């Protein structure tokens, strides 16, 4: 398996951040209890990284160019969609309101990721209602609202 240097950026950043945290804890002489959860997180991330490396081994008999093209398409298609829909979500929020845009965003993302329509609708509706109740009713936060002559949401 050939790993390109660019593919090592995220693991290197993870290792550098973890090392910096452990160094700060050690330098300040903090108790061991401060470092317990970061150790569990580090072990989990290392296991996940090992699984990625093990399952990344490409199939035999497929040309390198086709593997790289397929990998590029699979790697960037979903993140690009999620990024663009998030930008759209933030752009339409001032006009359609927080609750309506949250529902549309959640519903669209779930459909794109392969959820059933009915389930995606119910989950998006439930989350949008919970977010509205918590942020607007309970916390009293000022969020963009959809204002019509009949109601304000």
Based on the fold, state whether residues 115 and 148 are members of the same structural domain: yes
Domain membership of residue 113 as a residue range = 62-153
Backbone φ, ψ for residue 34 (5° rounding): -70, -25
Instruction: State the pTM of this model.
Output: 0.52
Total domain count for the chain? Answer: 2
Q: Does 67 lie in the same domain as 53?
A: no
What is the residue-level pLDDT of the chain in tens, covering all 153 positions?
555 556 666 676 777 777 777 777 777 777 777 777 777 777 777 777 677 666 665 545 556 666 666 666 666 777 788 888 888 888 888 888 888 888 999 999 999 888 899 999 999 999 999 988 888 888 888 777 777 666 666
Are 109 and 133 contained in the same domain?
yes
Domain match, 67 and 107 both: yes
HSE of 27 in the Cβ direction (CA atoms, 13 Å)?
A: 6
């Amino acid at each position: 398996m050939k790993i390109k240097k660019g593919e090592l950026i995220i693991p290197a950043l993870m290792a550098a951040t973890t090392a910096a945290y452990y160094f700060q804890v050690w330098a300040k002489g903090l108790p061991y209890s401060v470092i317990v959860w970061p150790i569990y997180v580090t072990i989990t991330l290392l296991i996940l990284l090992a699984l990625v490396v093990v399952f990344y081994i490409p199939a035999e008999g497929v040309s390198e160019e086709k593997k790289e093209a397929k990998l590029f398409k699979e790697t960037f298609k979903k993140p690009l969609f999620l990024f663009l829909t998030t930008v759209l979500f933030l752009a339409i929020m001032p006009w359609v309101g927080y609750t309506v845009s949250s529902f549309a965003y959640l519903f669209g993302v779930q459909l794109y990721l392969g959820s059933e329509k009915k389930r995606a609708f119910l989950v998006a509706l439930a989350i949008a209602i919970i977010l509205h109740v918590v942020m607007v009713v309970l916390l009293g936060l000022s969020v963009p609202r959809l204002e019509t002559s009949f109601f304000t949401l």
